[in-house]
Structure 1
């Protein structure tokens, strides 16, 4: 069964690119903002991994990340942040707020797929230890 990836990015071209890269191996839902993504998650269940930009409209990606990781319903969902910010301060903030990985745009598609596979495998191992 294909794993579900939820992508949040305000850049339509980036959403399309990520969806096209991943849709062969994953079910990919894309959203332009956090509010729509949360509504989708509440209606259709949690994704296996969230891929998000950090600079987003309405609810900033940093706030989303902090709220996501402190909310018991969503705290176990792995998150990959994809950002154009190259500075260590932003990267460290995202990782400390709960991001599992941080990738700088432009990025290598194979790297994203590798990270997704690793996060899904690690999540599966954690779940088997719990059960």
Structure 2
């Protein structure tokens, strides 16, 4: 079974690019709104990764990240933030809120592939380590 990724990004071109880059390896589900992504997750189960922009319609992406990571239901799902804000303060705020990684736009597709792979490898190792404990 292929690993799944939920992407929350309001920019249609970025959604298309992320889907094209990752769909050869993963099941990629793209959404422009948090509500649609959450509905998908409630119907189809937990993805292996959530990727989110921090400038989103309706809810601030940083608020979504904090709430998502605090939730008992989804808190263990790794989140990668993708944002055009490339300052250290924003990056650190997202990491402190629970993001596994941060990708600044514009990004190199190869970097996207590598970061997703790295986060999934870390998640697999943590799961394996917890089973051995």
Q: What's the TM-score, normalizing by structure 2?
A: 0.95
Partner of residue 11, structure 1: 11
SS for the counterpart of 1:29 is strand
Alignment partners' CA distance in 1, 2:102 and 2:80: 6
**1:86 & 1:115 partners in 2: Cα distance?**
16
- Return the offset for 1:60: 1.3
Tell me the TM-score normalized by structure 1. Answer: 0.96
Instruction: Indicate the residue corresponding to 1:75 in structure 2.
Output: 75
Is contact 1:69-1:76 (8 Å) kept?
yes
Superposed displacement of residue 125, structure 1: 1.3
State whether residues 10 and 33 of structure 1, in contact with CA within 8 Å, keep that contact through their aligned partners in structure 2: yes
Secondary structure of 1:5's counterpart equals: strand
Alignment gaps of 5+ in structure 2: none
Aligned residues: 131
Distance 1:14 1:100 in 2: 20
Runs of 4+ in 1 over 4 A off after TM superposition: none
Please, what is the CA RMSD of the aligned residues? 0.8
1:128 aligns to what? 128
Alpha-carbon separation, structure 1, partners of 2:112 and 2:72: 26
Unaligned stretches of 5+ residues in structure 1: none
* Equivalent position of 1:101 in the other structure: 101
Which secondary structure state, in structure 2, belongs to the residue aligned with residue 66 of structure 1?
A: helix
Task: Give the drift of 1:72.
Answer: 1.3
Deviations 1:67-91 (A, max 9, x none): 0110011111111111001111111
* Residues 35 and 59 in structure 1, CA contact (< 8 A), matched pair in contact too: no
